[in-house]
């Protein structure tokens, strides 16, 4: 733990407090072999833990983050202006109660927040992997999660919890290791993307790939970054994470009051909002990581990849009625395929005005469902 005078006292109430991100090397006994057969000779994973592990090591809960998340899921970093991305769910007395559970949150392989990814140095050259970083599969994310658990000496999980892409990782993990996870909570997740979902991601990737500063992925060598393409990708993706109702209630048709003339440049408040979302994203994310983390979602189809697996895991599924990126039909597909294999599974649709991003917020009843399912 670190000490800090930057985070306000009231914000720490009910929080896990001040935390630090740690790193573990997972390749001390050999390279990490990916689903493609490619090998990574040096893999570090960034992670955080909250709460205390019992002597029996039977209270561990693994949290899997969504596309642009990181290991910092709860509490405060020294000098930070905001807490971890799931701080409203994780903490003493919260749905993921750190007075009961030992919570582990890790940054994804291929990311840009401490875990090995395209911007990490390649041991063979000493330079960043850049475009030479190997393509990833959902199974590779899970391989790193498993390696981290082994590093921490945890053989079995009380639960694994994830929203969006995080829920997809949990599903893959439960099918890969059907006896290792007691409970799985999948929130606003999917087991196979629709054609529309793939289309949205294709446009986002095209914005990056066709940015003049992309340079075939070697932009770092040119001292630039495909900022415009990454900004557009984030702006478009963000629209799919919220609902039409929430945008209308927040912005309506409000315009910039600095002028009355119609213009081609940003004018409506919602345009300025998306510009801000795109600009702020550039400060924390790498374009190649965005490409590497979105692509595995397109190919994900675990019930085909693991056709005969019957996990002992109990599944709790949550969807939101206003989520049009991964609507309730996605959760029902997971429910029906698990039930057909005789797996214990429950599903609840929660009423929420906030669209896909509801999994990060607190619509009525949502956190109670998670709390109840964790037992």
* Calpha distance 38→134 (Å, rounded): 7
Per the annotation, binding residues for substrate are 234, 357
If 0-12 CB within 10 Å is exposed, 13-18 middle and 19+ buried, where does residue 195 land?
exposed
Parts of the chain belonging to CATH 3.40.50.1820: 9-193+301-374
Measure CA 165 to chain center. Answer: 5
pLDDT in tens, 257-279: 766 678 888 889 999 999 999 99
Comparing CA positions, the residue from 368, 375, 208 lying closest to residue 295 is: 208
In contact, 176 and 137? CB cutoff 8 Å:
no
In contact, 161 and 62? CB cutoff 8 Å:
yes
pLDDT of res. 12: 58
Which residues are known catalytic residues? 164, 323, 356
What are the start-end ranges of the H helices in the chain? Answer: 9-12, 138-152, 165-176, 195-209, 227-241, 244-251, 269-282, 287-299, 302-305, 328-340, 366-374
DSSP secondary structure string, 175-195?
HHSTTTEEEEEEES--SS--H
pLDDT of res. 375: 87
Segments in the chain below pLDDT 70: 1-13, 258-260
Per the annotation, binding residues are 234, 357
pLDDT of res. 4: 30
Question: What tokens does 157 get?
Answer: 């999980």
Comparing CA positions, the residue from 63, 187, 153, 138 lying closest to residue 299 is: 138
In contact, 363 and 171? CB cutoff 8 Å:
no
> CATH code for 197-293?
1.10.1740.110
Parts of the chain belonging to CATH 1.10.1740.110: 197-293
β-pairing, 96-97 vs 44-50, is unpaired
In contact, 188 and 323? CB cutoff 8 Å:
yes
Does the pTM of the predicted model rise above 0.85?
yes
pLDDT in tens, 116-140: 999 999 999 999 999 999 999 999 9
pLDDT of res. 311: 97
Cα distances from 301 to residues 112, 296, 313, 339, in angstroms, run 25, 10, 19, 17
In contact, 44 and 147? CB cutoff 8 Å:
no
Comparing CA positions, the residue from 166, 19, 179, 7 lying closest to residue 98 is: 19
A 10 A CB-CB count for 284 gives 10
Q: Domain 9-193+301-374 is classified in which CATH homologous superfamily?
A: Alpha/Beta hydrolase fold, catalytic domain (3.40.50.1820)
Residue 156 half-sphere exposure toward CB, CA atoms < 13 A:
12
pLDDT in tens, 334-346: 999 999 999 999 9
């Amino acid at each position: 733990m670190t000490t800090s005078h930057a985070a306000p006292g009231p914000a720490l109430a009910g929080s896990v407090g001040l935390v630090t991100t740690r790193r573990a090397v997972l390749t001390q006994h050999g390279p990490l072999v990916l689903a493609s057969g490619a090998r990574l000779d040096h893999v570090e994973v960034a992670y955080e833990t909250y709460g205390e592990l019992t002597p029996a090591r039977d209270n561990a809960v693994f949290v899997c983050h969504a596309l642009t998340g990181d290991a910092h899921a709860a509490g405060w970093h020294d000098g930070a202006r905001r807490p971890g991305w799931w701080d409203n769910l994780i903490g003493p007395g919260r749905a993921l109660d750190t007075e009961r559970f030992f919570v582990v949150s890790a940054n994804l392989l291929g990311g840009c927040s401490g875990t090995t990814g395209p911007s990490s140095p390649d041991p063979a050259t000493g330079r960043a992997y850049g475009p030479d970083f190997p393509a990833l599969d959902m199974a590779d994310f899970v391989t790193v999660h498993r390696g981290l658990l082994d590093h921490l000496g945890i053989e079995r999980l009380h639960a694994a919890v994830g929203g969006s892409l995080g829920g997809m990782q949990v599903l893959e993990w439960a099918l890969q290791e059907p006896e290792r996870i007691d409970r799985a909570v999948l929130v606003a997740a999917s087991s196979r993307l629709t054609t529309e979902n793939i289309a949205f991601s294709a446009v986002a990737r095209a914005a990056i790939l066709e940015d003049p500063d992309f340079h075939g992925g070697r932009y770092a060598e040119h001292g630039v970054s495909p900022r415009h393409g990454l900004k557009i990708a984030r702006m478009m993706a963000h629209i799919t994470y919220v609902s039409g109702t929430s945008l209308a209630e927040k912005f309506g048709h409000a315009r910039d009051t600095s002028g009355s003339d119609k213009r081609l440049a940003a004018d409506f408040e919602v345009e300025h909002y998306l510009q801000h979302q795109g600009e702020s994203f550039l400060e924390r994310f790498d374009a190649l990581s965005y490409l590497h983390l979105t692509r595995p979602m397109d190919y994900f189809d675990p019930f085909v990849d693991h056709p005969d697996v019957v996990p002992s895991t109990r599944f709790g599924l949550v969807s939101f009625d206003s989520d049009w990126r991964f609507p309730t039909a996605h959760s029902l597909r997971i429910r029906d395929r698990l039930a057909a294999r005789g797996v214990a599974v429950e599903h609840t649709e929660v009423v929420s005005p906030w669209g896909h991003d509801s999994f990060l917020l607190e619509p009525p009843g949502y956190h109670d469902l998670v709390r109840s399912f964790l037992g």
